[in-house]
Amino acid sequence: MAFSSGSRDEDEIADINVTPFIDVMLVLLIVFMVAAPLSTVDVPVNLPASSAPPREREEEPLWLTLTREGDLRLGEATVSAAGLGPALDRVSNGNRAAPVLLRADSSIPYGDLMRLLDALRAAGYLKVALVGLEGGPRP
């Protein structure tokens, strides 16, 4: 029901126009729907913390993940230890100077991590960096 002060026409309606508000909300909804999948990592790994400052990346790295169960994933695809070299060559187009960022769960035994680093060296990938959480304990 509309109220009138008496000085205006009786057929004037004083309703709030919510169309711009709905348009803004729909745009925000679309932005969040697009941005949310980009900010998540699909391979859950419990990373150890590090106190080293983050470095700038010169080129797009290859993400290699060693999960708690011992699964090896290149990006999001599961690879075997024996097929690691050919899989890296396929993803990097044979560029063995491409940086490999290694994410390993903190519960992985040290020997398993060393075997993986040896397999990377045998495949010819020498630019390997270990990924950890920022803001870890100071030495």
Q: Is the pTM of this model over 0.85?
A: no
**Digit-coded pLDDT (tens) for 65-117:** 998 888 899 988 889 888 988 999 898 888 888 888 898 888 888 888 899 99
How far, in Å, CA of 130 to CA of 133, rounded?
A: 10
Strands 62-66 and 100-104: parallel
Strands 128-130 and 100-104: parallel
